[in-house]
Amino acid sequence: MRKTLLAGLATAALTSGSLLALAAPAQAAAGTTLYVRPTVTICSDAGPGTYDQPFCTIGAAASVVSAGQTVEISGGVYREHVTLTRSGTPDAPIVFRGGSFSPQLIGPAGGITVDGQHDIRIERIQVAGAADGPALDIRNATRVTVEGGGYSLTGGVTGTVVRLSGVTDSVLSNFFVSGSSLTTGVSLDDATSGVRLSSVGVDGNPVDPIEQSVGVRIEGADNTVVGGSFRRLSGAAVSIAASARGTTVANNEITEGLGYGVHNAGATGTAITNNTIQDRCRGGVRVDTGSTGVSVQNNRLVKSRDHSCPSPPGHGVQIAVEGGATADTVVDYNLADLYLPGSSAIYSWNGTPMGLAAFRAASGQAAHDLDTPAPTGGYDSANSAAPGFPATDRNGTARVDDPAVPNTGAGPQPYADRGAVETVRGPDTRFALTPDLDTGSVTVDASTTVPGVAPVATYRFDFGDGTVVTQDTPVATHRYATRNTYSVSVRVTGTDGRKDDTSHGVSVLPRTGTVGLLTTSALRYVAQMANVPWPALGADRPDLGPAAQLDLVDAGDGKVALFLRSAGRYVTADTAGLAALSYETVVVGDTERFTLIRNADGTVSLKSLASGKYVTATANATTPLVANGKTVGTEQKFYRVDVANAGRTLKAGANGRYVTADSASVKPLIASGTSAGAAQRFDVLDLGGGKVALLAWANRLIVTADGAGAKPLIANRASAGAWETFTLVRNTDGTVSLKATVNSRYVTADSGGAKPLIANRTSIGPWEKFTLGG
């Protein structure tokens, strides 16, 4: 991010003039603009410098330009050193302006010198690879403005890139400075005052000797360094000499390097305010002996876990106040954003490293400093009355009161943030998708969206099939014409215009049935596990209630997916076959696809496409299901129960009474019930091919044609074999009959229902007919 910031600064400097490209010939006729266009054959340094007859060199235009005129310089390479010898006036400055492509002065002697002039503007010009002196040298000048462009020294050359000597009342902004061996990026000598360096980037060489590569060196009075970017400097990013007075260092972003972030080397009245200083080896801020009236407030000092420093210098403290400077230096409202909170080496007071608590005790300072690993501690908590406090952050953003954060700062804006950047939160779009496979629709609920600093104005729902809905409420439902997987996007816009987009996939696939899966190992239904805090499937439910109902979904290529209706989510198996089956997704991928296998005994098994293994349900109802079975055994088999066939009743045609099972498993089934309670209800297990088994609610056991059909039916079996399997015959009058597989005889309510049910009839009569009820 830091590299991108500097690169962006450089790019801005190179391209910011695209709207101020070379003017039309009509301006030249007015005499206010001179043109330098060396790429045209008609250029001549003899003049007159019109658009049609331009100068070839910048120097030629500089020698004749007068107050109020602008020299428009086309992009290209210029092998010259330009010395500006003429001045403008406060109301009519002389302007040297690069075109949409910045002109470059290159070569060892390349550079720009201003000596003794005033009211000069230099815009979007680059000096690349100077060797014989500073790339930009401004001496004994006043009211000089430098805007955009860039300045650098050639490789291996030491020295100062931009030098100001005896300069007053000037502004240098939005340009970058670099050099592989620079001594100083920008130097302001002791006679330079009232200079503002704004949004200047300095990029050094991290392997230079310590204290050799300084970003900005300040020796004069009332100078300001604001909004700069400094990185890879082996010396201090900003060094303030003892001769300096009234310096302000604010809103700067200072990143990795061997030296200090800001070094106040004995200066008076320095305000070090709202800077972000990260991973500086010698330390973040140092205030030396001899310094007086220094304020260190609202800074964010960051130390990354993975940042290493060679020895020397090793790792220094974040804020050091040494010697006599301890008398009147103010340290407060800073944020030590460290990966190791509570460190004993965040501060140094008079040479002794210490943590925050000890620093407070020793210095009486830092009452509002924070030692936290999270940047959120710096939100809405700065001192806006601190010396040098900037009304906007480094990006020009005004201070904003975040309604979600308490205001714990001080001054007229107690909601200002610490560090160089004001956090202005836009909305954080969050939404849940709930498919409805019955209707083929999806409901999008964005009510958990976190508003930004401004309330939410609109929600824009894009359902991925060409349907887009914008409304001021957070919930929308859409029915798809075609069952498929779609990408649903929601854009939330605040009343301040800030937006946030989030997308999630959703599968609205064809439903082929709603079933329960009854384990053969324990005769329990697969369902949401009630005894675990995470979304896991287990087999701990005795009945096919809402928590156990699964939609079978056509997942394509002969595969199925399982949709847990109560959760509105698909069942997932992990690829390794180690984790429990979960239900957290609304999208069907490979981990949600299974092969549904019908076994020879009528049970079904599920083979995970992700793990290539079978879903296993142990007899222990507290153990989640896992797709880890290498072969199909009892624990990998399930009875399929259609939801419509759960809790059914059988009313005998022989006497109009309900078939009843004994809860103790000692009495056979008999048509004796006058009403339908638990003892009269059965789950019909689908064994395929019209074959079924009956699970009695009375005791959760399976009905058997005991004695190979020679004895009455009784519910006392833990699994369904040949004696427990029946063919469900649907009669033309709407009744059903049960034909036992074991002897191919029909079940009858013997003696008109007076005797227990038994499978001993060869044909269907009134006593062999039953009404299958709900």
Question: Do 474 and 544 lie in a common domain?
Answer: no
Q: Over 60: is that where the pLDDT of 96 sits?
A: yes
What does the pLDDT look like over 580-638, one tens digit per residue?
Answer: 999 999 999 999 999 999 999 999 999 999 999 999 999 887 889 999 999 999 999 99
Instruction: Report the pLDDT value the prediction gives residue 343, as an integer from 0 to 100.
Output: 61
Q: Is the pLDDT of residue 646 over 90?
A: yes
* All residues at 6 or more sequence positions from 541 whose CB lies less than 8 Å from its CB, including other chains: 524, 525, 526, 527, 547, 548
Contact 415, 409 (CB under 8 A): yes
Question: Does pLDDT of 21 surpass 50?
Answer: no
Rounded to the nearest angstrom, the gap between the alpha carbon of residue 671 and the centroid of all alpha carbons in its chain is 65
Phi, psi of 371 (to 5 degrees): -115, 95
pLDDT at 22: 33
Helix (H) or strand (E) holding 260: strand 260-264
The CATH number of the domain holding residue 613 is: 2.80.10.50
pLDDT at residue 377, rounded to an integer: 81
Q: Which phi and psi angles does 636 have, rounded to 5°?
A: -105, 10
pLDDT category of residue 771 using cuts at 50, 70 and 90: very high
Distance CA 337, CA 476 (A): 41
Residue 473 in domain? yes
Q: What is the DSSP string of 635-667?
A: GG-EEEEEGGGTTBEEEETTTS-EEE--TTS-S
Which amino acid is located at 25 in the chain?
P
Look up residue 8 and give its two tokens. 């962006």
Q: What is the pLDDT of residue 252?
A: 98
Q: Where are the alpha helices (DSSP H) in 267-377?
A: 356-363
Picking from 403, 490, 412, 415, the residue whose alpha carbon sits closest to that of residue 452 is 403
Q: Which domain holds residue 567?
A: 511-642
Total structural domains within the chain: 5
Between the alpha carbon of residue 186 and those of residues 83, 134, 138, 237, 553, the distances in Å are 19, 10, 11, 10, 69
For residue 417, tell me if it sits in a domain.
no
Residue 109 has pLDDT above 70, yes or no: yes
Considering 596, 621, 642, which residue would you say is the last residue of a domain? Answer: 642
244 close to 267: Cβ distance less than 8 angstroms: yes
Q: Mean pLDDT across the stretch 81-88?
A: 97
Q: What is the pLDDT of residues 186-226, one digit of tens each?
A: 999 999 999 999 999 999 876 666 557 899 999 999 999 99
Residues 19 and 110 in one domain: yes
- Percent of the chain residues topping a pLDDT of 70: 94
19 and 128 assigned to the same domain: yes
Any domain includes 387: no
- Residue 689 within a domain: yes
User: Is 436 among the domain residues?
Assistant: no
DSSP per position, 159-211: SEEEEEES-EEEEEES-EEE-TT-SEEEEE-TT-EEEEEES-EEE--TTSPTT
Mean pLDDT of all residues in 169-195: 95
Mean pLDDT of the chain: 92
Q: Is there a domain that residue 398 lies in?
A: no
420: in domain: no
pLDDT in tens, 317-353: 999 999 999 999 999 999 998 755 556 689 999 999 9
pTM above 0.85, yes or no: no
**Residue 210's pLDDT is what?**
53
Question: Are 83 and 153 in the same domain?
Answer: yes
Question: What pLDDT is stored for residue 8 in this prediction?
Answer: 38
- 534 and 491 in a common domain: no
Strands (E), 6-89: 33-36, 70-73, 76-78, 81-84
Phi and psi of 700, rounded to 5°? 60, 40
Q: Give the whole-angstrom CA distance, residue 243 versus residue 712.
A: 111
pLDDT one-digit tens code per residue, 228-285: 999 989 899 999 999 999 999 999 999 998 899 999 999 999 999 999 999 999 999 9
Is it the case that residue 4 has pLDDT exceeding 50?
no
Are residue 225 and residue 344 in the same domain, yes or no?
yes
CA distance 287 to 325: 7
Q: Is residue 190 part of a domain?
A: no
Write down the residue that tokens 């142990």 correspond to: 618
Does residue 14 sit in the same domain as residue 131?
yes
